[in-house]
């Protein structure tokens, strides 16, 4: 019996990579000025960011439709597979709780394994890819689960924004943090904590300094970089991201760097210009 990895679209895995890996992506909903779209179905990053400045209000996001989630779970079960579903951090969304609820409604809940990623964007997309490879060699779920949780707990999520405005409006960081950031005209560096919440990490004066800070943090923390594929995701700033990837290569030898675009769901909360760095840090 094979395992099939399922994620929601906030994992920001490139469609061609998901197809190659056999990872199933469940679309999440984005509401823009009263109209609801499904990410990766009827709205995509390119038309989302090109229109971002014209939205009357900040887009709102919601968890995957439970009916769609159940239908996909059942389809996989019918094909004789077990499911390993890795979803957006419970500290940022109710998607994980919904997945647990849907699992208990399915015909074979014991064959559905739900993992709280404690992360977001391509950081947990990268985790899902690693899990997919791990599962192919696993002899049992019990063996695989220990290694999956170990991987999850080593994943590091650090990122910089052009502005804290959207995270504040979406309730992901406090208004006080946002006010101070705007007042001092700083470029914030944030991270996702081990329990899956977003918190400020550092403040710098320029975008270049923010990239230097991301690199500095990674160089201090990364575990066996020559054996790692690290991830970078960006919100409509590919040139900055490619230049950052080249800067990383000047300072450290890694197995590879995968670049992904931040999708509509995550981008609704971070805004254009966001760049995030993902890697596995040493165990504590």
pLDDT tens for each residue of 57-116:
889 999 899 999 999 999 999 999 999 999 999 999 999 999 999 999 999 999 999 999
Burial (CB count <10 Å: 0-12, 13-18, 19+), residue 23: buried
Are 166 and 135 part of one and the same domain? no
Output the pTM of the full model. 0.93
Are 8 and 130 part of one and the same domain? yes
**pLDDT: which is higher, 74 or 199:** 74
**Which residues, 6+ apart, have CB-to-CB distance to 202 below 8 Å?**
188, 189, 213
Query: What is the number of other CB atoms lying within 10 angstroms of the CB of residue 163?
Result: 18
DSSP one-letter code for 278: E
Are 105 and 244 part of one and the same domain? no
Q: Which residue bears the tokens 């999708």?
A: 263
Strands 187-192 and 198-204: antiparallel
Q: How many domains does the chain have?
A: 2
Residue 84 to residue 166: CA distance in whole angstroms: 32
Are 10 and 110 part of one and the same domain? yes
The CATH number of residue 271's host domain is 3.30.1180.10
Find the DSSP H helices in 156-198: 165-169, 175-183
Of 123, 153, 183, the last residue of a domain is 153
Q: Which domain holds residue 196?
A: 155-280
Are 209 and 112 part of one and the same domain? no
Are 78 and 143 part of one and the same domain? yes
Q: For 157-188, what is each residue's pLDDT tens digit?
A: 999 998 777 776 666 565 555 555 554 567 88
Q: Among residues of the chain, what percentage have pLDDT more than 70?
A: 93
pLDDT at 183: 46
């Amino acid at each position: 019996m094979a395992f099939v990895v399922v994620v929601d679209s906030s994992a920001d895995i490139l469609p061609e990579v998901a197809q190659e890996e056999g990872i199933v992506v469940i679309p999440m909903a984005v509401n823009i000025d009263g109209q609801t779209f499904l990410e990766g179905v009827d709205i995509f990053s390119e038309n989302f960011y090109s229109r971002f400045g014209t939205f009357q209000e900040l887009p709102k996001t919601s968890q995957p439709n439970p009916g769609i989630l159940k239908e996909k779970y059942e389809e996989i079960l019918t094909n004789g597979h077990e499911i390993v579903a890795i979803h957006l951090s419970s500290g940022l969304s109710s998607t994980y709780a919904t997945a647990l609820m849907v699992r208990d409604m399915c015909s074979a809940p014991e064959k559905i394994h739900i993992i709280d990623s404690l992360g977001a964007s391509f950081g947990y997309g990268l985790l899902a890819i690693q899990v997919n490879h791990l599962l192919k060699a696993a002899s049992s779920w019990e063996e695989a689960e220990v290694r999956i949780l170990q991987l999850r707990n080593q994943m590091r999520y650090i990122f910089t924004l052009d502005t804290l405005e959207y995270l504040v409006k979406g309730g992901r960081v406090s208004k006080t943090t946002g006010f101070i950031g705007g007042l001092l005209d700083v470029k914030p560096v944030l991270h996702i904590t081990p329990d899956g919440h977003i918190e400020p990490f550092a403040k710098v004066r320029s975008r270049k300094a923010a990239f230097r800070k991301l690199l500095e943090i990674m160089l201090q923390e990364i575990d066996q970089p020559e054996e790692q594929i690290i991830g970078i995701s960006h919100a409509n700033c590919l040139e900055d991201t490619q230049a950052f990837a080249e800067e990383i290569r000047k300072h450290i030898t890694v197995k590879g760097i995968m670049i992904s675009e931040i999708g509509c769901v995550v981008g609704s909360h971070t805004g254009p210009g966001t760049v995030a760095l993902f890697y596995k840090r040493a165990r504590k």
